[in-house]
Structure 1
Amino acid sequence: MKKIDIACIIDDDPIFVFGIKKIMELVGFCKNFMVFRNGEEALNNIKAIISANEKLPDVILLDLNMPILDGIQFLEEFTKVPCKKKIIIYVVSSSVDPEDILRAKSFDNVSDYIVKPISVEKLKEILKHIEKVDQC
């Protein structure tokens, strides 16, 4: 399996962030990480990266429940940002509320909704999905 270049984790839980980074390293998921504690921080940084014409993440793992700008608010704002690169987004949340799942999946750029915790197998599935998208 091919490693992706940059994975972006948007989550306010330092324990989840620590754990998912370790699992990503174990699987050989990506070469680099971007980590943001809330949607606003992520949105501002991604806009700056686009403006500077720097390298964007290939995939975003987005939590729903965060302070300042939550996952849904991030998605609403992110869809307005002009971006030439297609960034694959996975919503990763502890919420099993069907309304949250439907709302998150209603965004075109959301590939899937994953209930925490993420397993090694799920990360491998994500890698395979990204490889298929890249081949299209």
Structure 2
Amino acid sequence: MKVTLNRYHIWQSGFTLIELMIVLVIIGILAAIAIPAYNSYVARAQGNACVSEARNYSSQVYLLINDPDIVVLPIAPVVSACKSITDATGWTLETQQKIIAIAKPPSNARIECDIPKGTPCIIKP
């Protein structure tokens, strides 16, 4: 910070141009590091939310198909965290397959839940 005395004997103080430029460079470096880290965090969070949604739906389908006391067929998935989830409406014990969910961008992860094997879910980037 520079302090000077002008010709009217009034003290002036302020930041020099180089000090302001150094602050801007530091902010730029921090932004260059933080923005990609944040984007990576958002992609992982969206992928994890979709995995949770796919597991929940596949568990419901597994229960409805494999429990002999329940006579209701599986319902359509409610999609919020995923871009799409395989619709298991009308599946029976003989027609069950894998439930495939696709996460929303930027993650775009593919989640496969294998109903015949007891709904283990695998993430495929």
> TM-score, normalising length from structure 2?
0.26
Higher relative contact order (CA 8 A, sep 6+): 1
